[in-house]
Amino acid sequence: MAESLEALGEPGMVERLLRRLGEALGSHKVVLFCPLPGSDDPLAAYQWGMPDDFLARYANLIQGCDAWSEALERQQGAALARGGSLSQQLVSTPALRRGAFYADYLRPLGIDAMVNSIVETSPEVGMHVLAMYNDLGQSEFTPEQFARLRAATPWVRSLMRAQRRLQQAQRHTSALERTLDQLPLGVMHVNRRGELRYLNEHARAWLGIEDACRILLRSATGWQARQPQQLAQIHPALVPLLGASLSTQTPVSARLQPQHPGAPATLVALAAPLRSSSGTGPAHATGEALAQFILVPETPPHAGATVSVCSALYGLTPAEAALLPLLLQGMTPREMADTRQVKMPTVRSQLASLYAKTGTRGQAELAQRVLRVAALVA
């Protein structure tokens, strides 16, 4: 079961867990009922050893009420107080054999005894029940089996809760990736070894990368088995930027001549160390130093209108606004000073004012802010 924690989110994880539980407890038929309140499937379940039409036949038989369900409702409070497990069968096998539930349903399925453990119950998650069935001819479940079931139930509860947390994180990741794909610039994350950890849609299209590399979580399915894409395979000019950025802990830029048809004639690549102070970013998730590459066309469309809108939106002076086109071309402060024919302290002062007025903390973040405005203008 501890190994299953490493397999959260993988197809068949719960079924493999149920198989192991069944084998350990001497049962060949195991079902984990896990309905979700408000869903269209109130009898959702994972199963091992049961026929494919198990849930449909069960739903048609009980029609929302049967002796087993009624007993479960009566005993759930006491079961949860004992840690989630029932200390005895809800319905004994002799009593079970006297009812239509046994004759019409359990016996045709080859079931002669049943035991249930309430994993958890709440308005948010519904009632999760772990049920095990013995084949015809097998004896009743023994006290030892009950004890092992009680010991296993908290593990099952922990796994189900961890899986829900992972699914929530995956939904947040998907939403984040959709947002990054909508930006009018390329975004790429690379670790110190030059292995690609994430690319958005523009970065993949402009660099001609087939591999999606959409990995923001280290525990994503199949992460360990992947062969990471290397930065050197994408464009040789990007490798020096990575080393310079991580060693100096400052943004470094360069112009690229894309090698992929359909890409802009010239791209400006800006590499910067990726912050992870919030504890939720890729650098935090993987525990490794990452650099973020921002890719923009050298001559972004609607540049003049973008500068005008930014000037009005953020209250920029003409000198500050004049730096924006140079910023989008990936120029360093020294190149900006040479182009504007002003002194370096003047450019640094103007950049500091730009950061303050736009609420950004560096050239990479400021470039993203300006490009969002460009997208609105377009």
Q: What is the DSSP letter of 39?
A: S
> Token match 């919030």: residue?
278
* pTM of model > 0.85: no
Instruction: Say how many C-beta atoms besides its own lie within 10 A of residue 313's C-beta.
Output: 13
pLDDT of residue 119: 82
Q: What is the DSSP letter of 286?
A: H
pLDDT of residue 377: 64
Contact between residue 272 and residue 249 where contact means Cβ atoms under 8 Å apart: no
- Per DSSP, the three-state class of 254 is strand
How many angstroms separate the CA atoms of 364 and 270, rounded? 7
User: DSSP assignment of 128-182, as one string?
Assistant: EEEEEEEETT--PPPHHHHHHHHHHHHHHHHHHHHHHHHHHHHHHHHHHHHHHHH
Task: Tell which residue, 36, 31, 13, 130, has the closest CA to residue 83.
Answer: 130
How many angstroms separate the CA atoms of 357 and 367, rounded? 14
User: At CB < 8 A and 24+ separation, what contacts does 366-370 make?
Assistant: 366/327, 367/185, 367/270, 367/294, 367/296, 367/327, 367/328, 368/183, 368/185, 368/294, 370/306, 370/310, 370/324, 370/327, 370/328
pLDDT of residue 320: 92
What sign does the dihedral 278-283-289-295 (CA atoms) show? Answer: negative
Per-residue tokens: 97: 């054999």
Per-residue tokens: 185: 């610039």
pLDDT of residue 361: 84
Contact between residue 354 and residue 323 where contact means Cβ atoms under 8 Å apart: yes
Would strands 186-191 and 290-297 be described as parallel, antiparallel, or unpaired?
Answer: antiparallel
List the chain pLDDT tens, one digit each, 378 residues. Answer: 444 544 555 667 778 888 888 888 888 888 888 876 556 666 678 888 888 887 777 777 656 555 666 666 777 777 777 666 654 555 666 777 777 767 777 777 777 777 777 788 777 777 788 888 877 777 777 778 777 888 888 888 888 787 777 777 777 877 877 777 777 788 888 988 888 888 888 888 888 876 544 444 344 445 455 577 788 888 888 899 998 888 888 888 888 877 666 677 778 888 888 765 444 344 444 457 788 898 887 665 556 777 888 888 888 998 998 898 888 777 888 888 988 899 999 999 999 999 999 888 888 788 878 877 776 665
Cα-Cα end-to-end distance for the chain: 53
- Per DSSP, the three-state class of 89 is coil
Position 140: which residue type?
E
Task: Tell which residue, 45, 371, 377, has the closest CA to residue 182.
Answer: 371
Task: Tell which residue, 148, 136, 75, 85, has the closest CA to residue 111.
Answer: 136
How many angstroms separate the CA atoms of 136 and 122, rounded? 34
